[in-house]
Every structure is written in structure tokens, then in C-alpha cells.
């Protein structure tokens, strides 16, 4: 799931680059969505690691 979220964030950043030529506010919304996706992927990755460590114990 984390890999999909990282790809989603990358797609949002690319879309923001194209939208920056048209509308700055829309570009910032896409950048914010990309940042939120990356943060969610990081939190999901940390939780996954914790679950794996608990499963081994």
C-alpha cells in the first residue's frame, strides 16, 4: 500500500507542475495532496514495521 501512495504522490506532484502554468491555486492543492499522501505512506510504513516486529516476538 505504501508504494501505491508514493506513486500517487508522484502523480500529484507531476500534475501540479502542469497546473502551475494554468492556475497557481490548483497547483498548490495538488502539492498539498502529494505531501499528505507521502505522510500517510510514511505513517503506514512505520505501523507495518511495528506489526512485523511484534509478530516476530
Higher-pLDDT residue of 38 and 3 is 38
Provide the 10 A C-beta neighbour count for residue 26.
14
Tens of pLDDT, residues 1-32: 778 888 888 998 998 888 888 888 888 988 99
Instruction: Name the one residue in this structure whose C-alpha cell is 514495521.
Output: 49
Are the beta carbons of 19 and 31 closer than 8 angstroms?
Answer: no
Provide the 10 A C-beta neighbour count for residue 37.
20
User: Which pTM does this prediction carry?
Assistant: 0.76
Are the beta carbons of 27 and 16 closer than 8 angstroms?
Answer: yes
Q: How far is Cα 44 from Cα 34, in angstroms, rounded to an integer? A: 15
3-state DSSP assignment of residue 23: coil
Amino acid at each position: 500500500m505504501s508504494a501505491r501512495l508514493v506513486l500517487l504522490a508522484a502523480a500529484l506532484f507531476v500534475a501540479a507542475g502542469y497546473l502551475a502554468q494554468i492556475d497557481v491555486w490548483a497547483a498548490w492543492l495538488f502539492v498539498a495532496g502529494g505531501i499528505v499522501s507521502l505522510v500517510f505512506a510514511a505513517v503506514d510504513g512505520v505501523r507495518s514495521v511495528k506489526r512485523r516486529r511484534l509478530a516476530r516476538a
